[in-house]
Structure 1
Amino acid sequence: MPRVLGEGKAALAGNLPDILDVDGPIMPNWAWAGYLQPLPIDESEFADFLPGTKGVWNGKLYSVGLWDAAVALFARQSTLDELGLRTPTVDKPWSSEEFMAALDAAKASGKYEFALDLGMNDQAEWYSYAFSPFLQSFGGDIVDRSTYRTAEGALNGEAAQAFGKWWQSLFTGGYAPGTSEDPADQQTGFIDGKFAFQWNGNWRAVETMKAVDDVVFLPAPDFGAGNKIGAGSWQFGVSAKSKHPEGAAAFIKFAAQDKYLAAFSDGIGLIPPTPSAAQMTKNYKDGGPLAMFFELSKAQALVRPVTPGYVVQAKVFTKALADIANGADVADTLDAAVDEIDADIESNGGYGHR
């Protein structure tokens, strides 16, 4: 938070550095506000990059990430075997019915404190990154992406209502701990055997593999409109008032070479953005222990809404999901969230969307 506030003050003062490291979903807001300029690099230079690593706003490339992140369902192979569950694949994920049957089986076994850990204590970007793909798999969304002018129908329509009721059932039904979950459980609860399944990211995969020798990483369930996960992590862009845009671009191109992308991945454990860089890594090459995450990023990843208004929409969505988890009326909560998002869009002149 101090760094974010510092960057905001620097932006207002016009004192930004040549190169900015900006979170992917926040980039459109910074571009719209005039803090970033389109990258002075031909987009074809990044043709092989995963879609989630490219920050595009109004048809122009503004930022590029040297890695991406993905979420999967952590499980033990022994748990799947003991509960008699099919191992889902990217091509044939669990349906909503299979997913709930898996949770029911884990709950009925009596071996776990909860069938599923969602990391509900982390009420920051995690909610929109990790949970909005469930909404999108139901057929809803945070905002109507056809216009980005309203959330009406996307966040409170029939599909969203079905999502909200399912979401609430995870807590009323005792499948998952709620918003008062101990933060330590998100780090070690699955490892310690408190949870049969955990919805978590590849950044926790290496430590989990060290502690759980039969851990498997499963794709997101398909709730009817396709299985989806979030995409888009931190990315490099060039500040709008940079006096050295070509030099900044040259550094970004230099850093985006496969050998450095692979080195980043081996050093910090995140997903390399190109297939060729992935083959140079310990974890993401074909047959590597985390190769599944690269496949998930290719097959399932969906960037968060590409709009300057996302910075507000994410906060509204997070509060709505937390309230629903805590027992609030689903329809009323989603309607209120739509009203708040639409009011913000209107007060900002549509954020440049026509």
Structure 2
Amino acid sequence: MVWKTRRLAGASVAAAAATALVAGCASGDGGATSGASGDTLTLWTHNAGNSAELDVVKKIIKDFNASQTTYKVKLQAFPQNDYNSSVVAAASARKLPCLLDVDGPNVANWAWGGYLSPIDVSGSEVPLDDQLASTVGRYQDKLYAFGFYDVALTHFARKSVLTEHGIRIPTLGKPWTKTEFDAALAKLKKSGKFDYPLEMGTGGSGEWWSYGYSPQLQSFGGDLINRDGYKTASGTLDGPASVEWATWFHSLVSKGYIAKKSGADPNKDFLAGKSAIQWDGSWNAAKNADKLGDDLAIIPPVDFGNGPKIGGASWQWAMSSSCSNKDGAQAWLKFSRQTKYFVDYAKATGTLPATEAAARQIDGYQPGGKFNDLVEFARRFPVVRPVTPAYPYISTEFEKAAKDILAGADPEEALGQAAKDIDNNLKTNNYYAG
């Protein structure tokens, strides 16, 4: 399974959550069940199909249950494709578990909808301030969730290919500019050696479109919504900078630099030499290094004028609002915040550890390690997706517009329609007040 699909798909299903909330804000307070039976607390996770990460969750639960006699945590794992819809249904029926994981971009939506309660993890072994900012989920200045890892977008290339074509290999301190990047793609296209010089993963769906491409829009100076109050997308998503991005994005297809719809496994195609540069993520770094060795170039995102940007936030842990044993739920959350578990998650999943202390214990990710630049990308370049309950709807509209633009729609019209639809959604939901 392609890592980005597994890591990011949770947010793509979140449109169902937005729909449910628009239909009627489903509060988790009270109800038929509380996620706790006596001192036994139920925990839900999306990792049923991901044995490596699920094993870490099981380990933490086992250690916690053995560490004390007051509480017991019981696991229930769901396939990721079914997870968000299961949470939405349980929230509507007021049958949420005490503990659950949530895709980072959805924290605001679930908190606003009454699914989650604020948490207090003060006194944990790992202070929140030690974590990557993108791994801490806050809404309206309250802490609702935290994660053990993040991922980072990057360009992969072969150093030998770039050198052969006279293309500078960018560094953390000196990324490619738009001018350099466009010139590099033109050279690679002219060489005739590649099906497409650039692989952008355009065959993906769901959250990949916002995660993968909105950072480029933001580097152009645009954004998905005006973040000053989160009350309008008009003038921002369809503003001049965003239209400039969209025009460039379409030109990648019209100039033959990318496929309108890439293959089922873009990373496999890159490793097979069908493309020269791949826009991908840290989840494939180890695989690519195993295949290409020292010839692999891990390249920072392009600076399109407003600095390099990547998306931020992945899966995080939270407590439901309906949990009747919040002391027990917070005890488990605090217990889990040990450096050894941050290390376990990163080793098991190939993700970026959320703390420097954990990174120092993982081969390749420590300072000077071959993958440490990815950790630095996650520290220096992340833009958290808009912290608004409207985000799942925003993401769906952006995906629709971006696909239309690649297919030949007028960039200004496509973005303008998306902005209008988002504004209507905001107005219909009273701008997600409360």
TM-score range, shorter chain: over 0.9
The residue number in structure 1 matching 2:336 is 255
The residue number in structure 1 matching 2:31 is none
The residue number in structure 1 matching 2:135 is 53
Deviations 1:4-49 (A, max 9, x none): 2111111111111111100000110000001001112239921010
Q: 1: CA distance between counterparts of 2:173 and 2:228?
A: 28
Deviations 1:153-179 (A, max 9, x none): 111111011111001000111000113
1:267 to 348, 362, 371: 348
The residue number in structure 1 matching 2:271 is 191
SS of 2:173's partner is coil
The residue number in structure 2 matching 1:125 is 207
2:395 is aligned with 1:314: yes
Aligned pairs for 1:172-187 within 5 A:
172-179=254-261, 181-184=262-265, 186-187=266-267
Q: 1: CA distance between counterparts of 2:364 and 2:93?
A: 43
Please, which runs of 5 or more residues in structure 2 have no aligned partner? 1-80
1:150 to 220, 228, 232: 232
2:422 to 330, 337, 341: 341
2:160 is aligned with 1:71: no
Structure 1 residue identity aligned to 2:420: D
1:4 to 81, 84, 107: 84
Q: 1: CA distance between counterparts of 2:286 and 2:180?
A: 27
The residue number in structure 1 matching 2:289 is 209
Worse-superposed segment, 289-298 or 34-43: 34-43
| 8 Å CA contact 2:267, 2:278 repeated in 1 | no
The residue number in structure 2 matching 1:136 is 218
Q: 1: CA distance between counterparts of 2:373 and 2:355?
A: 14
The residue number in structure 2 matching 1:90 is 172
Q: 2: CA distance between counterparts of 1:77 and 1:182?
A: 24
Structure 2 residue identity aligned to 1:130: G
Structure 1 stretches (4+) deviating beyond 6 angstroms? none
2:406 is aligned with 1:302: no
| 8 Å CA contact 1:259, 1:280 repeated in 2 | no
Worse-superposed segment, 293-302 or 104-113: 104-113
The residue number in structure 2 matching 1:246 is 327
Deviations 1:222-258 (A, max 9, x none): 1111110001000001101112222222222222211
Give the TM-score normalised by structure 2: 0.79
SS of 1:92's partner is coil
Q: 2: CA distance between counterparts of 1:106 and 1:310?
A: 37
2:117 to 22, 27, 37: 37
Aligned pairs for 1:103-118 within 5 A:
103-118=185-200
The residue number in structure 1 matching 2:361 is 280
Q: 1: CA distance between counterparts of 2:183 and 2:329?
A: 52
Q: 1: CA distance between counterparts of 2:139 and 2:339?
A: 25
Query: How much has 1:275 moved relative to structure 2?
Result: 0.7
Query: How much has 1:288 moved relative to structure 2?
Result: 2.0
The residue number in structure 2 matching 1:162 is 244
**Which of structures 1 and 2 has the bigger CA Rg?**
2
Structure 2 residue identity aligned to 1:197: I
SS of 1:289's partner is coil
The residue number in structure 2 matching 1:18 is 98
Q: 2: CA distance between counterparts of 1:194 and 1:62?
A: 43
Give the TM-score normalised by structure 1: 0.97
Structure 1 residue identity aligned to 2:106: I
| 8 Å CA contact 1:77, 1:215 repeated in 2 | yes
The residue number in structure 2 matching 1:221 is 302
Deviations 1:93-139 (A, max 9, x none): 11100111111111111111101111011121001011000000011
Structure 2 residue identity aligned to 1:39: I
Structure 2 residue identity aligned to 1:21: D
| 8 Å CA contact 2:269, 2:275 repeated in 1 | yes
Query: How much has 1:289 moved relative to structure 2?
Result: 2.3
Structure 1 residue identity aligned to 2:350: G
Structure 2 residue identity aligned to 1:106: L
| 8 Å CA contact 1:71, 1:202 repeated in 2 | yes
SS of 1:338's partner is helix
Percent identity, please: 40
Q: 1: CA distance between counterparts of 2:161 and 2:284?
A: 19
